[in-house]
Amino acid sequence: MWSFYTFILLIFGFVSVLDAKSSSGNSVLVILDPARQPDYSIFFNGLKEKGYDLTFRAPKDEAPVLIEDDIPSFAHVILFAPDSKHFGKDVTPQALVQLLSSQTNLLIALGQKQNLVTSLAPEFSLILPPPGSSLVSYFPERKEPPTVVPIDVPSSSKILSSSSSPVWFSGVPFALGNNPLVFPILSAPAEGFAADSEGSTADALFDAADKGGEGLWAGSQLAVAAGFQALGGARATWVGGVELFSDEFAKKEISKGVKSGNQQAAADLAAWTFQESLVLRIDSTTHHLVGTSVPKEHYTTNDVVEYVAQISRFNPSKDKWEPYSGLDDLQLEFTMLDPHIRTALPPVPGSPGKYAVTFRVPDRHGVFKFVVDYKRKGWTHLQSSTTVPVVPPRHDGYPRFLSAAWPYYAGAISTSLGFFLFSAIYLAGDPREGNLRGLRAKSTKAQ
Amino acid sequence: MSTAYPLPTNLSTTTVTNTASLLRIVALGLISAAAIASRLFAVINFESIIHEFDPWFNYRATRVLASQGFYEFWNWFDPTAWYPLGRVVGGTVYPGLMATSGVIYNFLHAFHLPVDIRNICVLLAPGFSALTAWATYMFTKEMKDESAGLLAAAFIGIVPGYISRSVAGSYDNEAIAIFLLMFTFYCWIKALKTGSALFGTLAAVFYFYMVAAWGGYAFITNMIPVHALTLMLMGRFSSRLYVAYCSWYAIGTLSSMQVPFVGFQPVRTSEHMGALGVFGLLQIVAFAQLARSHLSSKQFQNLLTVSVVAMGVVGTFGFIALTYMGWIAPWTGRFYSLWDTGYAKKYIPIIASVSEHQPTAWPSFFMDLQLLIFLFPAGVILCFRELRDEHVFVIIYSVVASYFAGVMVRLMLTLTPVVCVSSAVAFSSLIDTYLDPTQPEGEEESEADSSNGTNTAATPSKKEKAKKPAASTSALNDIVTAATSQSSSKSKSKGIWGLDTRLIVIVNAIGMLSFFVFHCTWVTANAYSSPSVVLASTNPDGSQHIIDDFREAYYWLRQNTPQDAVVMSWWDYGYQIAGMADRPTLVDNNTWNNSKSHIATVGKAMSSSEEVAYPILRKHDVDYVLVIFGGLLGYSGDDINKFLWMVRIAQGVWPDEIQEPNYFTPQGEYRVDDRASSAMKNSLMYKMSYYRFAELFGGNNAMDRVRQQTMPKVGPTLDYLDEAFTSENWIVRIYQVRKEDLLGRDLKSANAFAQGKKKKKSKPVSRRKAIPV
């Protein structure tokens, strides 16, 4: 019986090893002091079980390099060296940004000391408190020191499993700039603030805010974990303290008998960072006249056009892209300099992953673009732009006869008829008639 | 009768006539050959290439026409021009030129002559110049006689004023328009002289062709009515005038409205109202003539006074009312700039920025017309001597065209034909007088001088001379005196005495003609045969050095950028980029477009700082920016020299953001060196032109050879653009617009970060105030 369970577990383990992986690759480089590697065994083992391929490198090592011949060597990089002063010479802030631009995801932990990581953070619109600060909170009352803070997982979080219990955190909180690409994953508690030492109080904080002009480092506007969705598609996650991932915090109980949510939160953070969760893509877009199915090279003004987009979402448990109809706020723009039409692009009921809208092309010729630009915090950005010229009607595409033009038609017809009648009478008329004498004289003259 | 030199007497009149007409045909043939040949300098010195700017569009359009047929051309919407507005080419183009080439192309291909469309386009202008010579011959023949016609044909064949627009490769509307202009005028004169509805209709047909070919058709639209009106005012109304004008106007106007680009303009715009008014006036006058023949003179006088006043009042008020109600479009800016040369600079800088819209400099009259400019007034005065209806036409034409040629350089082209015609009239009168062998009474016999015709150089004047003695060798009553009948019959007591007098004048005249030929050849070869796409310079050893930067850069774009990469440049280069690089452009030479704000947008982007320009570039999907920089080579037609126009045009739309004085130094100088104003130094155009320019001089002082100014040692830096390509002589520089930063930073700080600079520490945006407890 026991062996049967083991067998089942093994099977499950196997399946998960085979299937559960990221949408962008499995190789992970972990930059971490080897001495501290065992401290995070639960987190790393979890990753390994999911099928990731971990490579460890001490901060000061030179190999394996991050980028070789301009091609990143790994799909994901974990930087758990908040206290290292020196790094291998290929690990620079510029190199890390270059990694992001070549679709490598970053999971970065901040520390209290000034180093490479703290100088990189401002580029991501993270605003760090003065060096040496850490998050301090005296609530709720507990036996742990005030710098070890339990933080509730927000129930609305898409990234973290909302059902998990509070997460232990110890480290640096940071404020977020107004960059729309960065968003908090885990906010600091409302009672928390950043302070130099354990003993400092709120009064000291106010004094500092007043005197040094450092600003107010307090409250839930501060974040302890933030996600950054780079424009190229890569993701970066910043965590204020590396202890969040540690075995110690994972095993530490929140209250009697309630396990902390750290293990789950760490796994969720990694899953989002490594593009397992909330990953979308546009498989295809097409456009055609209503009633036909072939896209036209150009449309005529006032044509009625249907635009169709096919959208998939990555399913990490099956390692498969699946059609996804869950987006209800997708929009389509028909743009020339400015959007001439902006309309909802709703999912088509009955066909999974298909979003379609029908609209009338504006009465304006020019080079238009079908633009889908879907940027939501946490989700992959969806961007698609299809250029199509809108042309005026062809020379024979206008209405041929206009009822408004009847006066002109009547004029032309009556003139033609009159000319015809005149010619006929003039030519065939009898010159012997007395009252046509003048005419006769003329016609004889003409002869 | 005594003659100055012996004449053969045994020739029959028929022989003389036949020989004369044969010689005329030969002469015309040779004139055509000379006209075509002198236009081939460009092909021989460079290659068979389309010139300048506008011809590149015409060429591109012709290719579409030749490959896809007329209907596709008519419906052609060009999505690559004026990106993203696009251009409805069929409705915004005078299709006559392209249609002509297309017909020639299809004609040749129907005979299985696989001529490349490019060669047809390149050689179309020289071919039509031969036709122009013929049309001018026909026109002048109506003015005086065949010999004047031949002279005029020879003049127009080689005169630089016309060659400037019709060398091989100059594939522009003017290439065929001058032929059409002259032929329409010929038909009009013929119709007027004979009162023939057929010639009136022919004039209308060629007028239609002209309308389809060139925007300058408005010249005909107003010349003929002015002529008709003048004739009426001179009391020369006749049924011939009535028939000629009415048939021309009715058919011409209706057919001109078939051109999509013209549409309803002939009945809606002020430029065409003159023709309509004269048409109406003719009807009234004709009716008045009819009434006069049926009424007593007293009644007629009353009727005339009343009706003239009533018509005048009604007509004027009607015109004003219609203009105010918007039925008749007011005069366009280009029209105003014809009367007030400062108008364009004040109100429409785009028009003023075109160099060919500038007033003509005096030397260019001599340059373009040489000898003819002196003969021209003489010819006009000779027209006054006879003052038949057609002479009135030439007089009006000379006055009007002289004025316009003084106002706008490009209108020199319309002046040239009438200069040729009236000079030919003057010159042939001179020759007639001095070659006329009739001696005044009592003149002794002088020795024969048959060498007159053979001692001249191989020039058109030779052909003229060769014909002249032949014509005058006999039967002078028939030919010579036919033209100068009055003078020869009266020259019994007054006249030219002796051969020596004759010789002095004739030899002088021939000398002038030969100098004219040399001048024309020299000007054609040196001034008007440069394609301007390819530049030529001379090496120290005298050999030619070709500077091919433009094509180098355009082919780089063609080969190295995606098909849909949008290129921004100043509008001068739009057609060339479209034609040679085949890439979408933001603005091009089609500046009549209603999207003037689009040009202003480009002007603003060029004259703003990088931070301001970048959103504009991104909004218009610009991938590459192209600038022309002549500072290294001393090419003065570069963008920095045109820069003030960009500023002015942008200022017209955004007076708050762009101000011209900011681009000058406080002393009011236009400088690019250390003392340049900060707006100048920060402008995108300045930065793109001088980016890394100083490095080229390796620490020495960088020298801008166009402005003759020493550039600062440290050149400008670029954060939002990357240098993509710089041509061999740095004339064309292409920059790639960077994409938005990956991390959402502005590119300036992203660039600073990439270069390892530390970012300034920022503070959290505090949404709550700290309230001490």
Looking at the structure, do residues A49 and A189 belong to the same domain, yes or no?
A: yes
Residues A364, A338: Cα–Cα separation, whole Å: 12
Asked if A221 has any chain B CB less than 8 Å from its own CB, the reply is: yes
Residues A20, A49: Cα–Cα separation, whole Å: 9
Task: Please judge whether B84 and A205 are an interchain contact, meaning their C-beta atoms are less than 8 angstroms apart.
Answer: no
Looking at the structure, do residues A31 and A124 belong to the same domain, yes or no?
A: yes
Asked if A217 has any chain B CB less than 8 Å from its own CB, the reply is: yes
Question: Which of A273, A305, A323 is where one domain is finished?
Answer: A273
Residue-range definition of the domain harbouring residue B574: 551-744
pLDDT (0 to 100) of residue B341: 67
Looking at the structure, do residues A201 and A126 belong to the same domain, yes or no?
A: yes
| Residues in chain B closer than 8 A to A230 (CB atoms) | 742-743
Q: How far is CA A420 from CA A414, A417, A425, A428, in A?
A: 10, 5, 9, 12
Domain membership flag for residue B342: no
- Please, how many CA atoms are within 13 Å of residue B289, restricted to the half-sphere of its CB? 12
pLDDT (0 to 100) of residue A191: 86
Question: Which of A348, A364, A391 is where one domain is finished?
Answer: A391
Which amino acid, A159? Answer: I
Residues A195, A190: Cα–Cα separation, whole Å: 15
Domain membership flag for residue B43: no
Q: How far is CA B123 from CA B516, B537, B560, in A?
A: 25, 25, 32
Q: How far is CA B750 from CA A120, B368, B426, B753, in A?
A: 12, 57, 75, 5
- List helix spans (H) across B592-632: 596-607, 610-619
Looking at the structure, do residues A351 and A232 belong to the same domain, yes or no?
A: no
In this structure, are residues B172 and B220 in contact, taking their beta carbons and an 8 Å threshold? no
Contacts of B99 (CB under 8 A, 6+ apart): B65, B70, B212
Domain membership flag for residue A16: yes
Asked if A130 has any chain B CB less than 8 Å from its own CB, the reply is: no
> For residue B585, what is the DSSP state?
B
Side by side, which strands form the sheet with A53-57? Answer: A53-57, A27-31, A76-79, A105-109, A235-239, A223-229, A182-187
Asked if A114 has any chain B CB less than 8 Å from its own CB, the reply is: no
What sign for the dihedral angle of Cα A259, A263, A266, A271? negative
Contacts of B312 (CB under 8 A, 6+ apart): none
DSSP-based three-state secondary structure for B475: coil
Residues A24, A276: Cα–Cα separation, whole Å: 8
Looking at the structure, do residues A291 and A250 belong to the same domain, yes or no?
A: no
Q: Which residues are paired to A53 by β-bridges?
A: A27
> For residue A338, what is the DSSP state?
E
Token pair, residue B532, equals 């301007």
**What confidence category does residue A443 fall into, taking pLDDT thresholds of 50, 70 and 90?**
very low
In this structure, are residues B585 and B641 in contact, taking their beta carbons and an 8 Å threshold? no
Q: Count up the domains in chain A and report the number.
A: 3
Q: Which of B71, B83, B759 sits opposite A122 (nearest CB)?
A: B759
* CATH code of residue B722: 3.40.50.12610
Q: Quote the crossing angle between the two packed helices B412-435 and B389-407, to the nearest 10°.
A: 130
Residue A362 burial (10 A CB sphere; 0-12, 13-18, 19+): middle
pLDDT > 60? residue B28: yes
Asked if B619 has any chain A CB less than 8 Å from its own CB, the reply is: yes
Looking at the structure, do residues A183 and A43 belong to the same domain, yes or no?
A: yes
Backbone angles phi, psi at B668, to 5 degrees: 85, 20
Q: pLDDT tens digits for A42-57?
A: 999 999 988 898 999 9
Token pair, residue B181, equals 């202009």
Residues 223-282, chain B: which have Cβ within 8 Å of A?
Answer: 260
In this structure, are residues B74 and B40 in contact, taking their beta carbons and an 8 Å threshold? no
Residues A240, A129: Cα–Cα separation, whole Å: 11
Looking at the structure, do residues A125 and A8 belong to the same domain, yes or no?
A: yes
Q: pLDDT tens digits for B592-618?
A: 655 568 888 899 999 999 999 999 999
A408 min Cα distance to partner chain B (Å): 14
Asked if B761 has any chain A CB less than 8 Å from its own CB, the reply is: yes
Domain membership flag for residue A141: yes
Q: Count up the domains in chain B and report the number.
A: 1
Residue B594 burial (CB count, 10 A) = 8
**What confidence category does residue A199 fall into, taking pLDDT thresholds of 50, 70 and 90?**
low
In this structure, are residues A332 and A342 in contact, taking their beta carbons and an 8 Å threshold? yes
Domain membership flag for residue B618: yes
Domain membership flag for residue B226: no
Token pair, residue A242, equals 């590396």
Q: pLDDT tens digits for B248-280?
A: 999 999 999 988 888 888 888 878 888 988 898
Domain membership flag for residue B676: yes
Q: pLDDT tens digits for A250-274?
A: 888 887 778 888 888 999 999 999 9
**What confidence category does residue A1 fall into, taking pLDDT thresholds of 50, 70 and 90?**
very low
Residue-range definition of the domain harbouring residue A435: 403-446
* CATH code of residue A305: 2.60.40.1930
What is the total residue count of chain A?
447
What does the pLDDT average to over B692-705? 84
Asked if B385 has any chain A CB less than 8 Å from its own CB, the reply is: no
Closest-CA residue to B131 (of B150, B151, B114, B153): B153
Asked if A216 has any chain B CB less than 8 Å from its own CB, the reply is: yes
Closest-CA residue to B464 (of B54, B18, B61, B20): B20
What does the H/E/C string look like for B627-668?
Answer: EECCCCCCCCCCHHHHHHHHHHHHHHHCCCCCCHHHHCCCCC
Looking at the structure, do residues A45 and A160 belong to the same domain, yes or no?
A: yes
| Residues in chain A closer than 8 A to B745 (CB atoms) | 123, 179
Asked if B343 has any chain A CB less than 8 Å from its own CB, the reply is: no
CA A140 to chain centre: 36
Q: pLDDT tens digits for B650-676?
A: 888 888 988 888 889 888 888 888 888
Asked if B562 has any chain A CB less than 8 Å from its own CB, the reply is: no
Domain membership flag for residue B431: no
Q: Which residues are paired to A300 by β-bridges?
A: A391
Asked if B733 has any chain A CB less than 8 Å from its own CB, the reply is: no
Task: Please judge whether A119 and B758 are an interchain contact, meaning their C-beta atoms are less than 8 angstroms apart.
Answer: yes
Looking at the structure, do residues A140 and A20 belong to the same domain, yes or no?
A: yes
pLDDT (0 to 100) of residue B351: 67
Task: Please judge whether B743 and A391 are an interchain contact, meaning their C-beta atoms are less than 8 angstroms apart.
Answer: no
Q: Which of A180, A366, A395 sits opposite B84 (nearest CB)?
A: A366
Looking at the structure, do residues A266 and A289 belong to the same domain, yes or no?
A: no
Q: pLDDT tens digits for A156-186?
A: 888 888 777 889 999 899 988 888 999 999 9
Task: Please judge whether A216 and B768 are an interchain contact, meaning their C-beta atoms are less than 8 angstroms apart.
Answer: yes
DSSP-based three-state secondary structure for A175: strand
What does the pLDDT average to over B340-367? 74
What does the pLDDT average to over A420-428? 91
Residue position matching structure tokens 């979890």: A46
Residues 647-706, chain B: which have Cβ within 8 Å of A?
Answer: none
In this structure, are residues A141 and A124 in contact, taking their beta carbons and an 8 Å threshold? no
Task: Please judge whether B88 and A367 are an interchain contact, meaning their C-beta atoms are less than 8 angstroms apart.
Answer: no
* CATH code of residue A166: 3.40.50
